[in-house]
Structure 1
């Protein structure tokens, strides 16, 4: 497989840096071809602005969607954007690796999404009618590709449990997994989450490598989270509300995941781990 790892951490000597290096080595050893977009090392411009459209004229009103559409359709995007789009089209699987900062991804990674996911590339794709509402949520430019999050968090696993103070990790990651990955078509695998990063020692880091290694070995076979497809019949169009007979009486993120067959294990598999790493990695997560 061709694997793109989009990495967002400013310190290469961090726990995240060690995890990234291990992931690349493991994937290469398994015969995969890997590209890494190290956003901090690339000095990635995080802000979406008029400069992303090479045809934008000074003084003209900037419209984020329309400028993006024009630049994409006419081959007038900033080259850094076009390069990342080519990587996404090349990849069979994409891994987003980042520390959970203030309940989301670092700003530099959000900026990568905002700029690379151009109008006509990741959104604004397909027919909009009373029968379909675009090619998205299971369809679209990136359909048929796999994606997975590798996330580190400073809090304990219990803090992110269903009754934990921070809220369930499933809900915290839903906007990323469903809105950023499933929206343009990815099949999204359950994430690999490392908790309590400040308490990582060498023994725990060895466990992380073993657990993550197994996940990477199954990158092409792990069943994805069964997010409902927008145009598969589960939603009324154009209202885009779930049919009344599906998950009756329920609301929230979970209704957008199809129930797993009784004989299948749950895909809500947020791995049970207390973060651990060599002492030199403890400070930066």
Structure 2
């Protein structure tokens, strides 16, 4: 497979970065082609703005999504965005590597999504979920957090981790058409021993070895009928 890892951690010595490096090593040994977008190292600009387009179709009032469509059609999108779009288009699997911030992704990764998941390619009109632009590709989350595993669950203090991940797994990745694989979650990372961190890396290695056998998460699908889209179950 062609695999793109989009990595978002400001500290090169972090355990999240160690997980990313370990993933590259393991996946390449398995024969995959791996590319990394290290957003902090790239100094990636996360701010969606008029500067993302060499020309606006409606300069008097910018609708960002509509300008994305226009710019993609007319090859007027910023070079840094185009480079990342092409990386995703090349990839069979996209791995988002990050520390969880406030039950979400870091701002730089959210900005990467805002700018790179362009309307007209990733989504737009009837192009969403199993009709989305990324149908046939897979994606997964690989992330660290400070909370303990027992803090997450239907009756736990933070609620279920699945609910916390819905905006990124369902509302972003599945919405764009990706088959979303179960996430790899590293709990309580800032507070555990080095031995415990090494065990997480071993667990991650086993997870990566089993990628081909991981079933996609079950999200509703849509069928097209009379120019309308209806949910299937």
Distance 1:65 1:135 in 2: 13
* TM-score (normalizing by structure 1): 0.77
Matched, 1:186 2:172: no
Distance 1:168 1:216 in 2: 24
Distance 1:181 1:99 in 2: 18
Corresponding residue number in structure 2 for 1:137: 129
Aligned length: 231
Structure 2 gap segments, 5+ residues each:
none
Deviation at 1:60, TM superposition (A): 3.3
String of CA shifts for 1:12-36, please: whole Å, max 9, x gaps: 1011111111111001111100000
String of CA shifts for 1:160-199, please: whole Å, max 9, x gaps: 2211222210000011111111111111111011111122
Distance 1:232 1:2 in 2: 31
Matched, 1:21 2:13: no
Matched, 1:231 2:223: yes
The alignment partner of 1:36 has SS state of strand
The alignment partner of 1:220 has SS state of helix
Deviation at 1:204, TM superposition (A): 1.0
- Equivalent residue in structure 2 for 1:199, among 191, 208, 217: 191
Distance 1:142 1:221 in 2: 20
Asked if the contact 2:47/2:111 (under 8 Å) is kept, the reply is yes
Distance 1:120 1:43 in 2: 26
Q: After superposition, where does 1:101-180 map in structure 2 within 5 Å? A: 101-125=101-125, 134-180=126-172
Distance 1:48 1:189 in 2: 28
Q: After superposition, where does 1:1-285 map in structure 2 within 5 Å? A: 1-56=1-56, 60-125=60-125, 134-231=126-223, 237=228
Task: Output the aligned Cα RMSD.
Answer: 1.9
Q: 1:175 to 1:232 in 2, by over 3 A?
A: farther
Distance 2:111 2:97 in 1: 14
Distance 1:154 1:52 in 2: 35
Deviation at 1:159, TM superposition (A): 1.5
Distance 2:169 2:58 in 1: 37
The alignment partner of 2:163 has SS state of helix
* Greater strand share, structure number: 2
Distance 1:194 1:9 in 2: 14
Deviation at 1:231, TM superposition (A): 2.1
The alignment partner of 1:9 has SS state of coil
